[in-house]
């Protein structure tokens, strides 16, 4: 256990070092933006991975919570006179409440049924955002006030790089924390055998709900951060494609692996940037690469790599 | 002192009566075995008692409390623990983590303390791990503590399930064919383990096909046939009963296939 503990802190330190040193190799300020996008997406993916990789429950509507966070950051300052940071907290609280209310009935469903129910939830959020145009700007989206803390305004992509990096470190730390606690063990137990978890005294509905709420708060915070960073929100951020993108990050990187979620986010954000040279074939190629990776690395990139490395050592 | 009381339980699946009017009671420290041919309803009876199935009729009492139709986790809170005929281990967790989950009800579980891994959580974790290691030691698996449960042998998984069930410190333990698929050495170990468990005052309900084991360690034996209670009595009474010889040993042979 000690070895695993120090390994975990090792990962956090390595991650902090990467965040700190990466700007040294950025050829232009554009890369600050791409990296910030990776950090924010990775943060959302880590949260979703707690639900999917640890507790073993799927959500195909998670961008709904991302969208709620994003629009909270937009609507709070614009319509309610809330400071950005307060809007972010209110958005996260609202997402948690909504996850609790929605999760209670639907987390009793299993497998495909749960997938469809969460998909419906995501579609509903996107629909509300598109139709309530006097609040949200409708399909065109709306501008977002810049984050300001005690008179200091978070401006350029350089500043946001550090905020997003800090957020990611915090998110990874919490996810690691959870692993070796009664809650984290309950998640993993109900994933492996729900029936054994129940006879062991685990209230599986309660723990599924907790995982769902945690993942919703992660997504909401990521949404708020991205909205403030971009200075703009649009309904796509709550849409089905974005939900699928988040799930892909989690599965491609590796279910249950925190590092995997970061790698998955990096691949999904950066690959399209490299593939732009292929112009109209970009999406085709991206899909092809994802399919091939899943065929050859079924457990995801990071768990596969870990297995190969430990086999090489043995 | 009666800990577990089962009264006139009946359950049917699609009109077929899997259990039909079975009653018995088990005292603290008693080893109570349930035998019968494959398909007799032994596992179904366990599933009713542990709240996985809801019976159509009858009543279950734990320490005098009516717990009929309680959920499995509510029953666990009241001191009921069990293992499964078809293994139900947490494959992606280590052996010691499996047993730590068994101590779930003995731990304080607070989401916020866990998210931030407060010092109290770290302290509790250490205690839980120590306790879990002791239970692993009791089933002879201490050396495999940090191995992934999914990588353990079948016999080891069987014992791991027992350790997990014991870790809850239950007062009733249901064991569904703990020696199935185990070699004679492992069976011998399980035999001694069950003795030790009963000596602690835990009521043990055992479903087992290994007749030698059953005859040797049981205080009472209940014979189930097609969902009905055929006879209940001491090992001697059961062994000498002509109906049992006819219905169970006679028809199916003393050498039951280990599987069910
Ligand atoms: N969930 C279920 N649905 C339908 N039939 C079941 C179910 N569970 C058990 N049965 C039936 O109940 C009978 C008893 O099975 P079981 O309790 O597994 O027997 P045993 O453990 O004594 O071998 C069998 O005929 C089995 O098919
Ligand atoms: Mg059975």
Closest CA–CA distance from residue A210 to any residue of chain B (Å): 8
* B148 has a chain A CB within 8 A of its CB: no
Assign B217 to helix, strand or coil: helix
How far are the Cα atoms of B188, B220, B247 from residue B214, in angstroms, in the given order?
A: 12, 10, 17
In chain B the first and final C-alpha atoms are separated, in Å, by 32
Instruction: Please give the structure tokens belonging to residue B246.
Output: 């006819």
Using DSSP, how many helices (H) and how many strands (E) does chain B show?
11, 10
A120 vs B240 pLDDT, higher one: A120
Task: Tell me the mean pLDDT in the region B223-227.
Answer: 92
The three-state DSSP-derived secondary structure of B94-132 is EHHHHHHHHCHHHCCCCHHHHHCCCHHHHHHHHHHHHHH
* B134 has a chain A CB within 8 A of its CB: no
Query: Does residue B28 contact residue B1 with C-beta atoms inside 8 Å?
Result: yes
CB-based pocket (< 6 A), ligand 1: B 13, 18, 36, 38-44, 260
Phi then psi dihedrals of residue A239, to 5 deg: -85, 170
Contacts of B191 (CB under 8 A, 6+ apart): B179, B213, B216, B217
Chain B (205-244) residues lying within 8 Å, Cβ to Cβ, of chain A: none
Kindly report which listed range (A48-52, A305-309, B54-58, B79-83) carries the lowest average pLDDT score.
A305-309
**Please, what is the average pLDDT of chain A?**
91
H helices present in chain A, as ranges: 2-21, 30-49, 63-79, 84-106, 111-131, 133-136, 157-179, 182-192, 194-199, 204-230, 240-253, 258-275, 282-296, 301-313
Closest CA–CA distance from residue A162 to any residue of chain B (Å): 22
Nearest CA owner, ligand 1 atom 11: B18
CB contact under 8 A, A181 and B121: yes
* Ligand 1 atom index nearest CA of B14: 4
The confidence band for A27, taking pLDDT boundaries of 50, 70 and 90, is confident
Q: How far is the CA of B215 from the centre of ligand 1 (A)?
A: 25
pLDDT at B248 over 90: no
The residues pairing with A252 across neighbouring beta strands, listed in sequence order, are: none
Q: How far is the CA of B36 from the centre of ligand 2 (A)?
A: 9
pLDDT at B259 over 60: no
Model pLDDT for residues A3-25, shown as the tens digit of each residue: 666 778 899 999 999 999 999 98
Closest CA–CA distance from residue A202 to any residue of chain B (Å): 6
The residues pairing with B232 across neighbouring beta strands, listed in sequence order, are: B222
The residues pairing with A143 across neighbouring beta strands, listed in sequence order, are: A232
pLDDT at A52 over 90: yes
- Name the residue among A53, A62, A75, A16 with its Cα closest to residue A260: A53
The pLDDT value recorded for residue B127 is 97
The pLDDT value recorded for residue B180 is 87
Kindly report which listed range (A152-156, B89-93, B238-242) carries the lowest average pLDDT score.
A152-156
How far are the Cα atoms of A166, B125, B188, B210 from residue B118, in angstroms, in the given order?
A: 21, 11, 44, 48
Please report the domains of chain B, with CATH numbers, ordered by start residue: 1-79+170-260 (3.40.50.300), 86-169 (3.40.50.300)
The confidence band for B257, taking pLDDT boundaries of 50, 70 and 90, is very low
Phi then psi dihedrals of residue A79, to 5 deg: -110, -25
Query: CB-hemisphere CA count at 13 Å for A274?
Result: 9
The confidence band for B207, taking pLDDT boundaries of 50, 70 and 90, is very high
The pLDDT value recorded for residue B247 is 67
Whole-structure pTM value: 0.93
Helix axes B119-138, B154-167, angle to 10 degrees: 130
Model pLDDT for residues A56-112, shown as the tens digit of each residue: 999 999 999 999 999 999 998 888 888 889 999 999 999 999 999 999 999 999 889
pLDDT at B260 over 70: no
Chain B residues closer than 8 Å to A178 by CB: 114-115, 117
**For strand B16-27 and strand B2-13, is the pairing parallel, antiparallel, or unpaired?**
antiparallel
Q: Residue holding tokens 């890369």?
A: A31
Task: Tell me the mean pLDDT in the region B98-122.
Answer: 96
Chain A (229-268) residues lying within 8 Å, Cβ to Cβ, of chain B: 256
CB contact under 8 A, B92 and A189: no
Residue in A closest to B85 by C-alpha: A196
The residues pairing with B25 across neighbouring beta strands, listed in sequence order, are: B5
Assign A302 to helix, strand or coil: helix
Sign of the alpha-carbon dihedral angle for B26, B32, B37, B39:
positive
Assign A237 to helix, strand or coil: helix
């Amino acid at each position: 256990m000690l070895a695993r503990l120090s390994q975990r802190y090792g990962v956090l330190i390595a991650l902090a070092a990467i965040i700190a040193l990466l700007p040294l190799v950025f050829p232009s300020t554009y890369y600050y933006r791409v990296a910030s996008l990776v950090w924010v997406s990775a943060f959302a993916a880590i949260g979703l991975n707690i639900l999917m990789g640890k507790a073993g429950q799927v959500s195909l509507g998670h961008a709904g919570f991302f969208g709620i966070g994003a629009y909270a950051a937009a609507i709070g300052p614009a319509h309610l006179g809330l400071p950005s940071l307060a809007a972010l907290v209110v958005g996260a609280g609202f997402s948690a409440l909504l996850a609790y209310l929605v999760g209670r009935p639907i987390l009793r469903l299993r497998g495909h049924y749960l997938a469809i129910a969460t998909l419906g939830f995501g579609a509903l959020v996107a629909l509300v955002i598109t139709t309530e145009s006097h609040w949200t700007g409708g399909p065109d989206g709306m501008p977002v006030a810049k984050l300001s803390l005690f008179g200091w305004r978070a401006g350029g992509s350089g500043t946001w790089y550090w905020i997003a990096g800090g957020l990611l470190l915090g998110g990874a730390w919490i996810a690691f924390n959870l692993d070796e606690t009664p809650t984290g063990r309950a998640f993993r137990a109900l994933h492996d055998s729900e029936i054994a978890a129940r006879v062991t005294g685990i209230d599986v509905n309660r723990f599924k709900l907790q995982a769902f709420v945690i993942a919703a708060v992660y997504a909401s915070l990521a949404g708020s951060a991205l909205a403030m960073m971009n200075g703009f929100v649009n309904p796509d951020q709550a849409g089905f494609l974005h939900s699928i993108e988040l799930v892909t990050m989690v599965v491609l990187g590796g279910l249950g692996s925190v590092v995997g979620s970061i790698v998955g986010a990096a691949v999904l954000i950066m690959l399209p940037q490299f593939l732009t040279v292929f112009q109209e074939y970009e999406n085709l190629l991206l899909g092809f690469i994802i399919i091939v990776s899943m065929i050859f690395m079924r457990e995801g990139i990071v768990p596969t790599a870990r297995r190969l490395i430990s086999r090489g050592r043995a | 002192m009666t800990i577990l009381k089962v009264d006139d339980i009946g359950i049917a699946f699609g009109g077929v009566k899997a259990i039909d009017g079975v009653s018995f009671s088990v005292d603290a420290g008693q080893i109570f075995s349930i035998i019968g041919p494959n398909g007799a309803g032994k596992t179904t009876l366990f599933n009713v008692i542990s709240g996985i199935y809801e019976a159509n009729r009858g009543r279950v009492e734990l320490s005098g409390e009516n717990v009929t139709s309680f959920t499995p986790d509510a029953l666990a809170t009241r001191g009921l623990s069990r293992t499964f005929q078809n293994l139900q281990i947490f494959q992606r967790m280590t052996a010691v983590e499996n047993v730590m989950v068994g101590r779930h009800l003995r731990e304080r579980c607070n989401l916020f303390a866990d998210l931030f891994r407060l010092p109290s959580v770290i302290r509790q974790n250490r205690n839980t791990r120590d306790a879990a290691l002791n239970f692993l030691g009791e089933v002879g698996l201490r050396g495999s503590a940090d191995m992934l449960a999914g990588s353990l042998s079948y016999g080891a998984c069987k014992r791991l399930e027992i350790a997990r069930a014991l870790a809850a410190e239950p007062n009733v333990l249901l064991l569904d064919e703990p020696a199935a698929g185990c070699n004679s050495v492992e069976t011998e170990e399980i035999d001694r383990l069950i003795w030790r468990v009963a000596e602690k005052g835990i009521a043990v309900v055992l479903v087992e096909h290994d007749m030698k084991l059953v005859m040797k360690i049981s205080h009472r034996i209940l014979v189930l046939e097609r969902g009905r209670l055929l006879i209940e009595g001491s090992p001697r009474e059961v062994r000498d009963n002509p109906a049992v010889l006819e219905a169970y040993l006679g028809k199916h042979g003393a050498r039951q296939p280990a599987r069910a």
